[in-house]
Structures are given as C-alpha cells and as structure tokens.
Amino acid sequence: MSIRKFIGSNSLSNSRILFNERAKYRNEAISKRLQAEYPGVFRDFWFIENMYYGKINRLHEFMIPKESKIKTVQLDGGESLFVLDFVADAINGFLKSYDQALNNGKISRQDQVLSSLVPVKGYTNVLFDYEKNVRLLRDTIHPILIEKEKQIHDFESFVDLFMEMLFENYTNNPFTLTGFVSSKLSPLSMTGLFVEMSNLDYGKDQEKITELIDKPSYTFFIKNCAKHGFLIDVNVPWRICANIGSLEMESYMAKYDSNKDKVFNDYYDVSYNRDIEYMMNYLLSFYNRFVTFRPFIQNEKVDGFNIHRYVTRRKKLTKEELDFKYDNKFRLNLYIDLRNRETNSRYKKALINKIKNNAMGYLDSLGMQSAMSYIDQQFKGFLNDRGAYNSLNIASELELENAQASGQDLQEVLDRSVAESRKTIY
C-alpha cells in the first residue's frame, strides 16, 4: 500500500500552502469508505457549532460541568484521569475491549502507537483556565491604569477606566465566565466528555495518517469507539468524545439515572448564573490591588492665583461595602456592556440601551434570575434565536422584499438557517 502524503504542519511558514494542506487533510484523511462503513463516528470539532460540543445545551446556553459529577479513571502504573462519571465507565469498557483485542491479535503489536494506547488527558477544570485568563487580562491593563491613575478616585471611576481600556482593545481576552467558555480559549477538555489516547503531535498531519489512520489496526479502534458510544475527532484522531446522542453512551448514563434528554440538567450548570458574581469579585480584587500600588491621590485646588496641592488616600473596598453600594442595576448595566464587547459589539448603542431597559424591567418584575436569562438570550450566537435582536436582520430583509411575514414565518426562516448545524451537535 502506497503511503499517502499530507505535509500539513504547524511548522509550515507559507500560509497559503498550510491552508491548502489543512483543507486536503479535512477532505481526504478519512476515506469515503471508512465514513460510509462507520457513519457518524467521525466528527470535525473545528467546524462551526461542533466547536461548542459539550459547552452548550440544546437551548444553546453555555455550560460548565458540575464538579460532583467528575469521576476518576484509574490507569495502569498508578496514573489517573478525570472525566464525567458515565464517560469514565465507558472508557473502562473501551479499555477492557481493547486489551482483549490485543490479546486476541486483532491489534498488531507491531503498531507502535495503536498497540500501546493509554488515556493521557481527560477533564480540565475550566475555572482554573478562566482565572488564568482573567489574570492575564488584569496584567495587561494594570500598567495602563497606573499611567492614568489621576483619573481613578474610587471603585466606580476605576471600573469606568477599566471598561474603557477593554473597549479600546488593549486585550481581546473575554472577561466574563460565559465569554471565556464561548471563546476558543476554553479547551474541549473542559466538558468532561473528551479523552486523548496518545501524546502524538496535533500539528503533524502526516504522523496522524501513517501512525494511526492508515494502520490496519485502526479499524478496530473505530469499531471499539462505536461499540462504546464514542466519537472520533477527525483533526485529532486519537481523541475520542462521548456521543451523547447514541444508545451506546446512553446505556452508561442509565447507571446514574440519566439519559440523553436529562444529561445537561443532571451534569452541567449554565455559566451565566455565575457571571455577575465572578465579574464583581474580580473587579473588587483588581481595584484593591491597584490601591495597594497607588494608595495616594495627588490633588490640586486653584484659589485665585494660588494652587494648593494636597494628598488624599484612596480607600480599599470591602465585599460588604461593594454589595451595599453597587446594586443589581449597576451590575446588570456593566454586564450587558461586557457581553456586547465579547460578542464583537453585536449591538449599537440604541439597541444596547433597549436591552438594558428590558433587563431592568425583568429585574423589577421577576427578579435577577429572569433578568440574567433574558440577557443571555440576547447574546446567544446562533441565528435561530428569535428572542435576540440579531433576528432583526432577517426580519428587515423580509420587510425590504415586501414580504408579509408572521412571527411563525420568521421563526421558520431562522430555524432553516441553522437546521443542518443543529443536526451536528448532539
């Protein structure tokens, strides 16, 4: 059998060649025969909404796993791995079948990689990654705040300047938890659904082909994934993922009294419920850190021809003072501005003000939870979310075409616009 050539590599300096080679890999790495023989097993997790697999529920709300649902997988040699509990059981079943195949000669021991597959990476805590990201953002903006220290007199003026620095694009890093989970900065491993079975190099396409995909033993790897309810990542063909929509994976969920319809409620929390708390706590921490570095304010007072210079002390803020002085309306207004920035300034000022007014209405009539749910609905990134103002674009186009579209008609247009992408999620 001739060796297929795929020269795509992160070390390629020519961007056009790299683009073409990556496209070749996506189109040709998994043969049409394999795709036909094992339909639905391979998934491109770089493609559109597939990037959000395990990060969003069926309502397209961003989620983070519940820590109580994480289970340890004990490996040979005393090593351990963490994933969701039903995924841990599926991995154990996968490994047992794999060991049997090795002993029965279904996997060649001459295959250096396939004969020694061992889970090397599972769940990673998104809150740790989020905190590192926020600290990086802080360290980027802090020197600028020091330069502009005369503009900061208290917590509120600090927040105003901090937001100004964000909007002037000193950093593109998201600040809210939901913004981070929805970004490319949060790895798929945060979902608790993915397991990597090797330490091969992500960036070397030829190695993926010669060491895995084109090896005869890889056929058993594929069958074993299907048998135990796993998907295979096309771009990282040693990385497998729990197929939430499969009967095989659902059989593992049943032990924990869950199923494909309940799994998101059972195993995940929506991230926006934590956004305000984390946002305010980090801002408080950043402000008090700034005060530690710059405890004094140089003031000037002009009295006729005389200039009086004097020094006052900036005051640190306690958590109790923060909660007393800055109510939910202050927090929601700030949060909406942040979410708009994190969604590439989706809405102009007039629409942002309308969203803020609506959010205050929800806050006054139904409470904070309803206000947050409403805001989250406005910033979902998918075209079929009719409740968000981005659907106005399609409505406006229909109006320009003199189409008399009812609410139902509009919803159908929006649904059709992402029908295929919905099918690829779960």
Cα 22 from Cα 16, distance rounded (Å): 10
What is the rounded distance in angstroms from the CA atom of residue 151 to the CA atom of residue 297?
10
Main-chain dihedrals φ then ψ at residue 120, nearest 5 degrees: -120, -15
> What average pLDDT does this structure show over 145-157?
92
Q: How far is it, in rounded angstroms, from Cα 306 to Cα 290?
A: 31
End-to-end CA gap in the chain:
36
The stretch 10-25 carries a mean pLDDT of 69
CA pair distance 128, 133, nearest whole angstrom: 9
8 pLDDT band, cuts 50/70/90, is: low
Per-domain residue ranges of the chain: 15-124+187-248, 126-184+272-326, 389-423
Q: How far is CA 365 from the centre of its chain?
A: 31
Please count the CA atoms within 13 angstroms of the CA of 68 that sit on its side-chain side.
5
Q: For 190-218, write each residue's pLDDT tens digit.
A: 999 999 999 888 888 888 888 888 888 99
Does the structure show a pLDDT above 80 at 417? no
- Taking all residues of the chain, what is their mean pLDDT, rounded to a whole number? 85
Low-confidence winner among 56-60, 333-337, 412-416 (lowest mean pLDDT): 412-416
Look at residue 43 and tell me whether its pLDDT is greater than 70. yes
The whole-number pLDDT of residue 158 equals 95
Residue 396 is predicted with a pLDDT of: 59
Fold classification of 15-124+187-248 is Muramoyl-pentapeptide Carboxypeptidase; domain 2 (3.30.1380)
**Average pLDDT of span 40-69:** 89
CA distances from 238 to 35, 99, 102, 156 (A): 16, 17, 17, 50
Q: Which amino acid is at 241?
A: C
Indicate the range of 45-54, 213-222, 386-395 predicted with least confidence. 386-395
